[in-house]
């Protein structure tokens, strides 16, 4: 999604005059055109994320719309207090963009992964989070963020390989209909279901995508489906703690919606202490490949 | 400026300092609150900025938010805060908590208190003003213990690299931090050399003496006019300045005043104020 993000930022520059793009010294072979176009409004603030976020807060207070770009773990975790104090408490429209959410940086290892970024951002006041599903979402998401008066966090990841034309980006989207089970996903990991190559299994699954936090409502169609289907499965490339599954279980309870069964598929971290590609880590966590297929078969076919 | 005009300026500033200190001592006493020493160490610096340096469209960030009472008192001195607001300090439901509030008072752009944020915030606002083609300045007061925070040095690198000559950084160098003396806890010296190495024009001043502070101001103004180097003032101060039982003690960071101590503080403050005025007048 990184290339699409850069393109979207170039397009946004034609529409708004108050943008400032701050990178924490990353974006090689991705941000060159952004740097050229934004000119004095492009700041490489160096390897210093705390300063970058407070700078952005100061810029926002002076009427600018700052975007702070970096690797997801570094944009979220290193400057967490600056995000809370300087940005969120003051309700300033600072736009944080984390590239490589989840296991996105694969073989780079654990320090480069972001398995708790959504949870960390969800805990903050006034923060709105955007999690696109495919690269086709990016343009629309960037426009929404530019209009959003709140602090935002955008989690970029590898685009999901979902066939066909999807509904436009929205907090809730029904991606496909299915007979027996509901799978609700956050981000591109949902697309891993299409890669299982099991059309029969796929036909059993109704698929929804959640793209924003906090979750402000629940579509009536979704509630009806939960009541009708045999089970609800959530899938996320994020730790279970403070993630999608926990958020939805709370949402269901407060809406009086009680699925017959509820299973959370989420990142397991590093259970064997070994490292690999993004896909390898997803498989180790049961979020892709045969492990995912087995878990879904067990839930759906009993 | 002629000598008698200079004397008038000093006297005016001394009167403001006396009033600001009296007000915040009363606030601390009523609230039975600590951080008295922290406010006493930066009172002259704040008065210098508000009454002898900043223009109306300039912005101030008190990065050492634990001296908020001094800031509130300063804003009352400038008729920004009302007596009833000051009276509410530390009370339940107040807009004036122990450390500066969020989005409550226009002259307090950011809630501070967690140390190491102020200089970055000023850098961001300063950059924002430059992009807006505005000639506005941003003043930041940090403590010295605060300089242990790495983010201060991230900000210092940025301010120097971008030659932000619309930022003025003042360090309240009282040599005492949380639970000890800076040079024993985490040595900062030679601080002026560190600042110079980071690309700042560093000026050392007596942070309780307006002759010295105004000279530092004038030197900074001259340097900033050159547009190629940011400035930092190391204001040498004493925590709990001017009150013998508090002065230069760690205790003055924390302990509230009992009745006798408060009376003593007011008495010493009044004596010191009288002596300062006599000194300026004799010099003038």
Characterize the bridge pairing of strands A262-267 and B176-177.
unpaired
pLDDT one digit per residue (tens) for chain A, 302 residues: 999 999 999 999 999 999 999 999 999 888 999 999 999 999 999 999 999 999 999 999 999 999 999 999 999 999 999 999 999 999 999 999 999 999 999 999 999 999 999 999 999 999 999 999 999 999 999 999 999 999 999 999 999 889 888 999 999 999 999 999 999 999 999 999 999 989 999 999 999 999 999 998 999 999 999 999 989 999 999 999 999 999 999 999 999 999 999 999 999 999 999 999 999 999 999 999 999 999 999 998 87
Q: Of A296, A47, A106, whose CA–CA distance to A185 is shortest?
A: A296
CA distance A38 to B256: 52
Categorize the per-residue pLDDT at B282 as very low, low, confident or very high, splitting at 50, 70 and 90.
Answer: confident
CA distance B267 to B243: 9
**DSSP labels for B110-165?**
S---STT-HHHHHHHHHHHHHHTT----EEEEEESGGGGSHHHHHHHHHHHHTT-T
- A86 vs B158: CB contact, 8 Å cut-off? no
Average pLDDT value over all residues in chain B: 96
B170-205 burial, b at 16+ Cβ within 10 Å, e below that, comes to: bbbbbbbbeeeebeeeeebeebbebbeebbbbbbbb
Work out the percent of chain B whose per-residue pLDDT is above 70.
99
Place of tokens 């001043």: B205
Find the CATH number of the domain harbouring B52: 3.40.50.970
Work out the percent of chain B whose per-residue pLDDT is above 90.
91
Q: Which residue of B has its CA nearest to A56?
A: B124
Task: Show which residues on chain B lie within 8 Å of chain A, measured between beta carbons.
Answer: 102-103, 109-111, 114, 116-117, 120-129, 131-132, 150-151, 154-155, 157-158, 161
Does residue B1 register a pLDDT over 60?
A: no
Instruction: Kindly state whether A81 is in contact with chain B, defined as any CB-CB distance less than 8 angstroms.
Output: yes
Query: Can you tell me the mean pLDDT for B64-72?
Result: 98
Q: Which residue of B has its CA nearest to A39?
A: B131
Does residue B279 register a pLDDT over 90?
A: no
Give chain A positions within 8 Å (CB) of B109. Answer: 61
Select the residue from A43, A52, A54, A74 to test the B interface by mutation, using most B Cβ atoms within 10 A.
A54
pLDDT digits (tens, 9 = 90+) for B33-42: 999 999 999 9
Q: Which residue of B has its CA nearest to A45?
A: B158
CA distance A142 to A157: 15
Q: Give how far the C-alpha of residue B58 lies from the chain's centroid of Cα atoms, to the nearest Å.
A: 15
CA distance B164 to B123: 7
Q: Of A36, A17, A8, A20, whose CA–CA distance to A94 is shortest?
A: A20
Q: What is the domain extent for residue B183?
A: 3-283
pLDDT digits (tens, 9 = 90+) for B173-228: 999 999 999 999 999 999 999 999 999 999 999 999 999 999 999 999 999 998 89
- Residue ranges covered by each domain of chain A: 2-155, 172-301
Give chain A positions within 8 Å (CB) of B154. Answer: 46, 48, 50-51
pLDDT at B280: 79
Chains A, B: CB pairs < 8 Å: 97
- A82 vs B150: CB contact, 8 Å cut-off? no
Select the residue from B65, B104, B116, B120 to test the A interface by mutation, using most A Cβ atoms within 10 A.
B120
How many domains does the structure of chain B reveal? 1
CA distance A18 to A144: 16
**Contacting residues for B197 by C-beta, under 8 A, at least 6 apart:** none
Categorize the per-residue pLDDT at B284 as very low, low, confident or very high, splitting at 50, 70 and 90.
Answer: low
pLDDT at B2: 58
CATH for the stretch A2-155: 3.40.50.970
A172-301 adopts what CATH topology? Answer: Rossmann fold (3.40.50)
- Quick one: CA torsion of A47, A49, A54, A60, rounded to 10 degrees? 90
The DSSP secondary-structure symbol of A15 reads T
CA distance B10 to A291: 78
Classify A19 as helix, strand or coil: strand
Q: Do domains A2-155 and A172-301 have the same CATH topology?
A: yes
A277-297 burial, b at 16+ Cβ within 10 Å, e below that, comes to: ebbbbbbbbbbbbeebbebbe
pLDDT at A170: 97
- B150 vs A50: CB contact, 8 Å cut-off? yes
- Quick one: CA torsion of B47, B52, B56, B62, rounded to 10 degrees? -30
């Amino acid at each position: 999604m990184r290339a699409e993000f850069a393109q979207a930022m170039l397009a946004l520059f034609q529409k708004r005059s108050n943008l400032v793009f701050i990178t924490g010294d990353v974006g090689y072979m991705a941000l060159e055109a952004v740097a050229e176009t934004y000119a004095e409004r492009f700041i490489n603030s160096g390897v210093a994320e705390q300063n970058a976020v407070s700078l952005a807060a100061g810029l926002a207070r002076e009427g600018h719309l700052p975007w702070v770009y970096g690797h997801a773990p570094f944009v979220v975790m290193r400057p967490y207090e600056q995000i809370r104090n300087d940005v969120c408490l003051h309700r300033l429209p600072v736009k944080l963009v984390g590239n490589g959410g989840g296991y996105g940086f694969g073989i780079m290892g654990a320090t480069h992964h972001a398995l708790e970024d959504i949870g960390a951002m969800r805990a903050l006041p006034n923060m709105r989070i955007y999690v696109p599903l495919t690269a086709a979402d990016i343009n629309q998401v960037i426009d929404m963020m530019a209009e959003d008066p709140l602090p935002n966090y955008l989690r970029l990841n590898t685009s999901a390989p979902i066939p066909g034309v999807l509904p436009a980006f929205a907090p809730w989207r029904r991606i496909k209909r299915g007979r027996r089970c509901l799978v609700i996903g956050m981000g591109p990991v949902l697309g891993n279901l299409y890669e299982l190559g099991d059309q029969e299994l796929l036909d059993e699954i109704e698929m929804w995508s959640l793209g924003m936090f906090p979750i402000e409502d629940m579509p009536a169609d979704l509630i009806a489906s939960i009541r009708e289907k045999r089970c609800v499965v959530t899938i996320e490339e994020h730790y279970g703690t403070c993630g999608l599954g926990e958020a939805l279980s709370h949402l269901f309870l407060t809406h009086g919606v009680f699925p017959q069964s509820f299973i959370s598929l989420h990142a397991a971290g590093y259970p064997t202490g070994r490292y690999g590609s993004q896909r390898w880590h997803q498989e180790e966590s049961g979020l892709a490949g045969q492990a995912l297929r087995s878990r879904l078969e067990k839930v759906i076919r009993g | 400026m002629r000598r008698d005009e200079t004397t008038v300026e000093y006297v005016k500033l001394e009167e403001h300092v006396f009033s600001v200190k009296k007000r915040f001592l009363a606030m601390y006493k009523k609230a039975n609150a600590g951080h008295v020493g922290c406010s006493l160490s930066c009172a002259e610096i704040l008065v210098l900025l508000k009454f002898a340096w900043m223009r109306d469209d300039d912005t101030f960030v008190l990065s050492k938010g634990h001296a908020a009472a001094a800031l509130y008192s300063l804003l009352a001195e400038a008729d920004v805060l009302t007596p009833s607001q000051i009276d509410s300090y530390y009370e339940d439901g107040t807009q004036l908590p122990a450390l500066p509030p969020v989005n409550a008072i226009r002259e307090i752009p950011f809630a501070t208190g967690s140390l190491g944020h102020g200089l970055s915030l000023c850098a961001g606002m300063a950059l924002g003003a430059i992009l807006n083609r505005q000639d506005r300045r941003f003043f930041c007061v940090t403590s010295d213990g605060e300089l242990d925070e790495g983010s201060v040095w991230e900000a210092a690198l940025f301010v120097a690299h971008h030659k932000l000559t619309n930022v003025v950084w003042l360090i309240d160098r009282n040599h005492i931090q949380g639970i000890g003396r800076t040079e024993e806890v985490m040595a900062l010296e030679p601080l002026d050399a560190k600042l110079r190495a980071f690309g700042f024009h560093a000026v050392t001043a007596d942070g309780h003496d307006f002759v010295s502070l105004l000279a530092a101001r004038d030197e900074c103004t001259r340097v900033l006019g050159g547009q190629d180097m940011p400035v930092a003032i190391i204001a040498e101060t004493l925590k709990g300045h001017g009150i013998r039982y508090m002065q230069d003690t760690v205790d003055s960071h924390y302990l509230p005043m009992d009745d006798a101590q408060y009376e003593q503080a007011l008495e010493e403050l009044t004596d010191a104020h009288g002596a300062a005025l006599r000194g300026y007048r004799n010099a003038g």
